[in-house]
A and B are shown apart, each in its own frame.
Chain A
Amino acid sequence: MSAAFEVEDLSLRLGGIALAGIGLRIERGECLVILGPNGAGKSVLLESIAGFRRIETGQVVLGGRDITALAPERRRIAFMFQDFALFPHLSVVENVCFGAGTAGEARVERLLGRFGIAALRDRLPYHLSGGEKQRVALARALATEPALLLLDEPSSALDARARDQLHDDLRDLLAETGVPMIYVTHDRVEALTLADRIAVMRGGRLVQQGRPEDVIHKPSSAFVADFVGMETMLRGRISSREGELALVACGPLALRAPAGRASPGEEVFACARPENVRLLPPVAASAGANRFAAHVEALLDHGPYVRVRLRAGEQAVVAFVPKHDPALGALGAGSLAQVAIAPEHVHLVAAS
């Protein structure tokens, strides 16, 4: 069975950006998050899917129909821009009606109610808050009954509360309508919140695709590891294998980690997410497996936890310590702590 939406081997060249060999698959009711740094080509990819860029190779298939050669207005793909792009000369209801036509009046009324913007119907966009604009833009996009919804960093213009509201709205919509979505962002936390699947983009290519937990916990390269928040990345060399585990020598430190396909002699990064890095009092006795001493450099309050930056020789380590953790009391800039990372929480990526 074909997917709700599919991109095959898409490539194009545009100024400094070249997309190459892009392949995507989305099922109904799914949200795919394209995650990547600025300049990776995320917006260009969305615009070429919407039909604003001529692609050089590849195919775009929506609902089993090849739409590669169709004009944007014939694709049934709705687009939500970063700043929502509401028509400034039209009222809220006129904005939502824009693509719905007279036949869609009932639908428009339902959407105005659904998004709680019926009371704003005669306002001009200028008078709306960021969150209100976002809901109008979403209602306008859905009024055309699209077969796919593209969202280009819509949260970047919103405050934290409106951002949460947007995420709730989008998850609800996926459940209610099943309209598949592609959401572009450079924010990994947002990617985790929204995604059924994540595709990481770099330099015009998709470097990794998969379920969020796989991408976040098993990045396939040093770039992805860094981008998805593996804040501790210890450079080292695999010294030996012991069954499923590899022994990694990171300077004076020795770590055990699931070996995967790594073989002895290979240069790797031993990566760990900050929430999996534990800090213990610096008692000498238990300098056992995957434990080593480090100096605390700085502590930053992040709300429910404290972000602790440490240094062990040449290597930088970052740990999240929950506020209620009694170990926190002993930590201060310059103090010594013992770092512990369970082997199953260490992930190896090639260093080249």
Chain B
Amino acid sequence: MSAAAEVAALPRRGRASPGRSRMLFLVFWACGGLLLVSIVAPLVALATLESPANVMHVAASQEVRAAIELSLAAAGLAALIAAALGFPLAYVLAHGDFPGKRVVEAVIDIPLAVPHTVAGIALLAVYGRRGLFGAALGAAFGLKFWGTLAGIVVGMLFVSAPFAVNAARIGFEAIDPKLEKVARTLGAGPWTVLARVTLPLAWRSLLTGVTLTFARAISEVGAVIILAYYPMTAPIKIYELFLRFGLREAAGMALLVLVIALGLFIALRYLASGRDPRAEARR
């Protein structure tokens, strides 16, 4: 038998990848699998807990609808503001060094480390009527943050902004600086380079940033509940239903919110996936 024929005669799995340890991968898959199950199982259980009829019944409630719409609007606004302020910061961080860069990076990640009720109280200190921003914005635009949409957005923004900055930064950093340089030598000014090279190459990361920010914002309770118990966002409304009427009422709305939030999340993830031209550029 020729050598090639001998190789071909080996069982498939035996010649799959000689460099890969099967035992190690088995153990690691077992660990990772447990984690995956612990994420998916509760969501599946929630879906089976409720009948579609009950979900429709809950969805018909004006209060429930208002809470969900408020959540969507506030999270959308928070994501937009985080993008508008965070993407430029991400660009600056990705393009070179400056004194205090480490400090700026640490500051961006602070919201991830602060308990969110603490964040809510801290926010109240600056956005409250006598707070620094609260007083100024109140005087200038009549904006109030206590029990308003603006308050909800501020709470969501605080806890979700790091996701916008970090995702965008990864995207900007992945762009070969030579591409931006060569564009300059071809006659494009800095803003043109941004529009024709940087943004087209980074848009998937930017969209991922928006997605993560939105997802984090819509799921926020701790910071929001301190600034605005009323008007109620969806998670807070679910909590209220749970306290007042128990599990059955709350679960109906929970499933409804889950379907909407997860649907949006999956749709945005799908948009940001696909073949990345930058990956193609790597030989």
Contact = CB atoms under 8 A, between A and B. Distances in A.
Interface of A: 47, 50-52, 71-73, 75, 77-79, 81, 83, 85-89, 98-99, 101, 124-126, 140-141, 143-144, 146
Contacts of A83: 178
A52 B193 CA distance: 14
A143 B185 CA distance: 12
B11 to A, nearest CB: 36
Interface in B264-279: 277-278
Contact of B185 (A79, A86, A124, A126): A79
Nearest to A47: B181
A138 to B, nearest CB: 12
A125 B282 CA distance: 10
A105 to B, nearest CB: 15
B281 A126 contact: yes
Given A85-B176, A88-B278, A72 B201 contact: no
Contacts of B280: 88, 124-126
Given A81-B178, A141-B186, 15 more contacts: A52-B184, A71-B184, A72-B185, A73-B184, A73-B185, A73-B186, A85-B179, A88-B277, A88-B278, A89-B277, A98-B186, A99-B185, A126-B277, A141-B185, A144-B187
B188 interface: yes
Contacts of B196: 98
A85 B180 CA distance: 9
Contact of B188 (A47, A51, A99): A99
5 contacts: A71-B184, A81-B182, A89-B201, A99-B185, A141-B186
Given A124-B280, A126-B280, A87 B188 contact: no
* Chain A interface, DSSP helix/strand/loop, else mixed: loop
A70 B183 CA distance: 16
A99 B181 contact: no
B281 A88 contact: yes
Q: Give the one of B176, B182, B200 with max A CB within 10 A.
A: B182
Given A85-B176, A126-B277, A126-B280, A99 B186 contact: yes
A75 B280 CA distance: 31
Contacts of A101: 187
B197 A52 contact: no
Contact of A73 (B188, B277, B281): B188
B179 to A, nearest CB: 5
A71 B187 CA distance: 10
B246 interface: no
B278 to A, nearest CB: 6
Contacts of A87: 179, 183, 197
A147 to B, nearest CB: 12
B210 to A, nearest CB: 20
Contact of B184 (A72, A124, A125, A146): A72
Nearest to B281: A88
Contacts of B186: 73, 78, 98-99, 140-141, 143-144
B263 interface: no
Nearest to A133: B283
A272 to B, nearest CB: 41
* Chain B interface, DSSP helix/strand/loop, else mixed: helix
B33 interface: no
B110 to A, nearest CB: 31
B32 interface: no
A300 B186 CA distance: 46
A50 B180 CA distance: 13
Given A85-B181, A88-B201, A98 B188 contact: yes
Contacts of A124: 277, 280
A75 B189 CA distance: 12
Q: Give the one of B183, B184, B278 with max A CB within 10 A.
A: B184
A85 B182 contact: yes
Contacts of A79: 181-182, 185
A99 B187 contact: yes
Contacts of B181: 47, 50, 52, 72, 79, 81, 85
Nearest to B184: A72
Contacts of B185: 50, 72-73, 75, 77-79, 99, 141, 144, 146
Interface in B31-66: none
Contacts of B277: 88-89, 124, 126
A85 B193 CA distance: 14
Contacts of B183: 87, 98
Nearest to A82: B178
Nearest to B192: A73
Nearest to B197: A87
Contacts of A146: 185
A21 B197 CA distance: 35
A278 B277 CA distance: 55
A123 to B, nearest CB: 11
Nearest to A99: B186
Contacts of B187: 73, 99, 101, 144
Nearest to A88: B281
Interface string B75-114: 0000000000000000000000000000000000000000
Interface string B172-214: 0000101101111111110000001100110000000000000
A16 to B, nearest CB: 15
Contacts of B281: 86, 88, 125-126
Contacts of B184: 51-52, 71-73
In the complex, the 5 A-B pairs of residues with the closest C-beta atoms, listed nearest first: A99-B186, A126-B280, A88-B281, A72-B184, A85-B178
A89 B203 CA distance: 11
Contacts of B182: 79, 81, 85
A347 to B, nearest CB: 39
